[in-house]
Amino acid sequence: MFGRRKDDDQFVGLVVDDTERRIIVRALADLRDKQRMENKNFDFLDSLIIKVCDAPIQNRSGYERT
């Protein structure tokens, strides 16, 4: 189902900086490794890690709160 979606699926967008993106990828990789060690399914985590890594980078414009 990668790259396609059903009509009832919803997209959720997150705005994160580079550090936050790295934290998300590391956490997903750690969870994947834990699932692998417990002989559980981890294929969905691999595809999710790829989605996070390949997510488009948007230029920030407009008002930015610090």
Q: What's the pLDDT tens digit per position in 35-57?
A: 999 999 999 999 999 999 988 88
Provide the domain count of the chain. 1
Which residues, 6+ apart, have CB-to-CB distance to 35 below 8 Å?
41, 42, 45
CA distances from residue 6 to 2, 28, 30, 47 in whole angstroms, order as listed:
11, 24, 29, 17
Question: Looking at residue 41, what is its pLDDT?
Answer: 93
CA geometry: angle 59, 61, 66, nearest 5 deg: 100
Q: pLDDT band for 11, please (50, 70, 90 cuts).
A: confident
Average pLDDT of the segment spanning 8-25: 85
Q: What is the pTM of this model?
A: 0.69
What distance in Å separates the CA atoms of residue 55 and residue 66, rounded to the nearest whole number? 23
Q: pLDDT band for 58, please (50, 70, 90 cuts).
A: confident
Residue 26 falls inside a structural domain = yes
Residue 23 falls inside a structural domain = yes
Structural domain range at position 34: 18-54
Residue 22 falls inside a structural domain = yes
